[in-house]
Amino acid sequence: MRALSLTAIIVFLLDQLSKIGVIRLLSLRERGEIEVLDPLLNFRWAENRGVNFGLFANSAEFMRWVLIAVAVAISAWVLIWLRRERPGRWSMIAGGLLIGGALGNVVDRIAYGYVADFLTMSCCGFENPYSFNIADIAIFAGALGLVVFGGKSAKPTRAKRRKTP
């Protein structure tokens, strides 16, 4: 559980600090866009009031609270699942990535009414119109990690212990 907790705290802090740094200190909201390593990486201001890529943003105020509830419920479910199953270290880290990222976006939705996105990556002639943030990266990596590492238990469960002679 230590790996999960530590990873979630680090991701949450990195997400919130990156938003403070880029959005507030670099005044991204007022500037709109900052070229960093054009076209590979740029900072572009976006207020995501929906789900991924702004889906369901039409009923923003209603969806805001639905998405907060969904993120908190999924985070709680992942936490309970990982506590019960006691999977390996990599699963715990993946769970921490997902939970830390989800809670980072929850804080945005509560504080601002939207998720503050600012990273935009393009390459090889493809112009990406969408922005994302550190929390989004962590959520994606955490979900992928839970799929890849989720079935590998570090400690045998009671049922497995009973079967061994």
CB-based contacts of 65, cutoff 8 Å, min separation 6? none
Whether 15 is catalytic? no
- Give the C-alpha separation, 59 to 127, whole Å: 28
CA 93 from centre of chain: 13
Q: How many CB atoms lie within 10 A of CB 143?
A: 19
Active-site residue, from 15, 38, 108, 117: 117
Instruction: Identify whether the C-beta of residue 7 lies closer than 8 Å to the C-beta of residue 92.
Output: yes
Catalytic residues: 117, 136
